[in-house]
A = this chain, B = another copy of it.
Amino acid sequence: MDFRFEVLKTDPTGARLGRITTPHGVIDTPAFMPVGTAGTVKGLTQQALCELGVQILLGNTYHLYLRPGHERIRRLGGLHRFMAWDGSILTDSGGFQVFSLADLRKVTDDGALFRSHLDGSEHFLTPEKSIEIQQALGSDIAMVLDECIEFPADHARAADALKRTTAWARRCRDYARANAAGSMTPGQVLFGIVQGGMHADLRRESAHQLVDLDFPGYAVGGLAVGEPHAISCEMAAAATAELPADRPRYVMGVGLPEQLPDYVARGVDMMDCVLPTRNARNGCLFTSAGRINIKNAIYADDPRPLDEQCACMVCRTYSRAYLRHLFQANEILASILNSHHNVAFFLDIMSKIRQAIAFGELAAFSTEFQARMEAGQP
């Protein structure tokens, strides 16, 4: 099955209800993608992901390249087979981690020289190398290598990175086309990434340059790096306004539950974030009445479900008192159940967002939902 994107309905806000088809199935959009860093969404079995209705997850090229190694995963049949996940997978380019997690040594027009955060070994990531790795992983959607810059970054710095990002995007596209047969997933597609820092004119320019390269989908990168949420939205809007309506749009690395509808209202179809699973492991749980820190003593005798509005396995089965106990006792089950609920909560928001778009009522949904989230904050 070839890659396909259909817009089924557009909301007055500009939000789109859609459907992506990949070689591994259908994805209802707008979609939130849980992050499966090292070939596992932390704390969840693949069985749990199925039960949660996950249609697509994100794999991290940087982590999988370093461990267990992309050639090993290729030998083992690609990432889908390696992790026994038959749904869709999107892989990032590895660039974000090289620029943030690794010990970055040098960036040239050719690529990025870095040392592994695991063992200090030296590696050189080029646009071609990133695609080669992602072809070995065999994701359904691969991403171009982009230059991720620090925040804040001035206009000149951002313009410079934009230029390099476009050049790298072209090289990624050309390498992917020339070596398509090397992908573990026939039909794998490649998305471009709009950069430009917090400068709307650069975001527009970046979008134009990428559209000229004709990608089947476009991401907006370099957001949620410390800027106010209003700026993120402005940058996302500046980019999406220039992107073709018939291609999916993906804002990378966002966001808080109450922020998701804002991106969707700007025509965004895909998002991903480590927030649900990372916060879960720290005891921070999202509910329809705001955030809960489950280690708080007020929950020690609380027999209620975590979220009375939530129909997930955790909320159907366990009490706050039990979840608090598990967290206090540092039990593995705390991470399992907390991650399960938080991912369920994010997926449920997306389901409600899709329903709101179907009724043409995303604005009303957002207002009500965001007020509820804010009211529940400590």
Q: How far is the CB of A223 from chain B (nearest CB, A)?
A: 28
Asked whether, in the complex, the Cβ of A319 is within 8 Å of the Cβ of B82, the reply is yes
- Binary interface encoding of chain A residues 313-345 relative to chain B, with 1 for a CB under 8 A from any of its CBs, else 0: 100011101101110110111011100000000
Interface residues on A, range: 35 or more
Chain B's closest residue to A328 (CB) is: B67
Q: Give the oligomeric copy count.
A: 2
The complex places the Cα of A92 from the Cα of B318 at a distance, in Å, of 24
Asked whether, in the complex, the Cβ of B76 is within 8 Å of the Cβ of A319, the reply is yes
Q: Which residues in window 205-250 of A have CB below 8 A to B?
A: none
Asked whether, in the complex, the Cβ of B301 is within 8 Å of the Cβ of A337, the reply is no
Chain B's closest residue to A42 (CB) is: B332
Q: How far is the CB of A324 from chain B (nearest CB, A)?
A: 8
Asked whether, in the complex, the Cβ of A325 is within 8 Å of the Cβ of B84, the reply is no
Asked whether, in the complex, the Cβ of A45 is within 8 Å of the Cβ of B301, the reply is no
A261 at the interface (CB under 8 A from B): no
Given known pairs A77-B303, A329-B38, the reply for A322 and B45 (CB within 8 Å) is no
The complex places the Cα of A317 from the Cα of B38 at a distance, in Å, of 18
Which 7 residue pairs spanning A and B have beta carbons closest together?
A40-B333, A68-B325, A38-B329, A43-B332, A84-B317, A40-B331, A332-B335
Can you show 26 pairs from A to B with CB atoms below 8 A apart? A38-B326, A39-B322, A39-B325, A40-B331, A40-B332, A42-B332, A43-B332, A43-B333, A43-B336, A44-B333, A45-B333, A45-B336, A46-B317, A67-B325, A68-B300, A68-B324, A68-B325, A68-B328, A72-B300, A76-B322, A82-B321, A82-B322, A83-B322, A84-B318, A84-B322, A332-B332
* 20 additional A-B residue pairs with CB within 8 Å, beyond A40-B326, A83-B322: A38-B325, A38-B326, A38-B329, A38-B331, A39-B326, A40-B332, A40-B333, A42-B333, A46-B317, A63-B329, A67-B325, A68-B325, A68-B328, A72-B300, A76-B319, A77-B303, A82-B321, A82-B322, A84-B322, A332-B335
